[in-house]
Amino acid sequence: MTFNDIFKSSFLENVTQFSPLDTLIGMLFALVIGLFIFVIYKKTFNGVMYSSSFALTLVGLALVTTLVIMAVTSNVVLSLGMVGALSIVRFRAVIKEPIEIVYLFWSIAAGIVIGAGIELTAEVRLKDAATSFVNGIQKIDGVDHVTLVSYNGEYMS
Question: What is the structure's pLDDT at 30?
Answer: 95
How far CA 4 is from CA of 72, 78, 89, in Å, comes to 22, 17, 29
Q: Distance (Å, rounded) from C-alpha 16 to C-alpha 70?
A: 10
Highest average pLDDT, of 94-98, 103-107, 130-134, 153-157, comes from 103-107
pLDDT digits (tens, 9 = 90+) for 92-124: 667 778 888 899 889 988 988 888 877 667 777
pLDDT in tens, 6-49: 555 544 455 556 678 888 999 999 999 999 999 999 999 887 78
